Amino acid sequence: MDMTRPTSSPGSPKAHAPMADLGAVELGGTKTLVAVGSPDGSLGEVRQIATGDGQSTLDTVAGALSSENLSAIGVAAFGPLELRPGHPGFGRMLSTPKLGWSGTDIVGHLTDRLGLPVAIDTDVNAAAVGEGRLGASAGLANHVYITVGTGVGVGIVADHRVHRALAHPEAGHMVVKRHHRDDYTGSCPFHGDCLEGMASGPAVAGRFGSDPYLLRGSALDEAVDLVAFYLAQAVRNLVYTLAPERFVIGGGISKMDGFHRRVRAHLDNQLAGYGVLDEYGSSGFVVAPGLGDRSGLTGAVLMAAAVVV
């Protein structure tokens, strides 16, 4: 699948003219972002709303976009999602721990309310698109975007195409080896101590009994090191299975002081010298997003541009 040619809703009304603006939506576990943008990926003012249940959140999104002159909408959503074209559940949320979202027909709801074609993909796939076109991975054919926040998600681009097969990857739930000083049971309601269960924001909060962003001193240092330890395992696994040219790691937890440097240090230790290329040890191999907090929205507007016909 081409990076800027995502799946759109079957039977969606065709846009009448490419000169109209494009809607961009990023559905997150705690907040949803809405903006209007252009085919070049530029964005106007970004509106933030709290993510409630599926229907009320999508109603608010539709209301925010209903007065705009749009030709298509791109949606970057947390998952898991049904993204197989032609599948009767296309565009729906699958089973998710986010209350009020399992089974929500995201594409159908927005298409019915706004009468526009809707392109949809996971938030991390959209972020990978944005970073690959205009951000830290621009010009690279093979790269990975990882977000570490309310959950952990992974978007993969291989040969300029977003990777998706029977389903989209859920590498945030890969098995990880427990740190020898870590007795936390894990926060994932499905798997307990998977990557997301050990490295997400809720996992940090569960360990330290505090909002991760309020940690200071030794607690902050320990939290960053633990999360970096688990994320480095994910990077190691993906290095050995995909051999990408760059990893971009974003999300709120990744903003903790020294995060990317510590991931690189743990990665060097975990690779243990096997199959190591010079690139793996460079400061440009594991980096912060070039687009900051706008990777997903930028990807969403580029996705929307790709379905304008």
Share of the chain above pLDDT 70, in %: 94
User: Of 101, 149, 97, 157, whose CA–CA distance to 127 is shortest?
Assistant: 157
Domain architecture of the chain: domains with CATH: 21-127+293-306 (3.30.420.40), 139-288 (3.30.420.40)
pLDDT at 233: 98
pLDDT at 168: 85
- State both tokens at 195: 């990557």
pLDDT at 8: 57
Confidence of residue 7 (pLDDT cuts 50, 70, 90): low
Q: Is residue 22 a contact partner of residue 70, using CB atoms and an 8 Å limit?
A: yes
Confidence of residue 272 (pLDDT cuts 50, 70, 90): very high
Interhelix angle 54-65/106-114, rounded to 10 degrees, is 30
Residue with more model confidence, 144 or 96: 144
Helical spans, DSSP H, in the chain: 54-65, 106-114, 123-134, 195-199, 201-208, 217-242, 259-271, 295-306
In tens, the pLDDT along 13-26 reads 443 444 479 999 99
Spatial distance between the Cα atoms of 290 and 303, rounded to a whole number of angstroms: 18
User: Of 29, 160, 155, whose CA–CA distance to 100 is shortest?
Assistant: 29
pTM: 0.90
Q: Is the pLDDT of residue 225 over 50?
A: yes
- State both tokens at 137: 């991975």
Summarize the confidence of residues 213-228 as an average pLDDT: 96
Average pLDDT of the chain is 92
Spatial distance between the Cα atoms of 309 and 307, rounded to a whole number of angstroms: 6
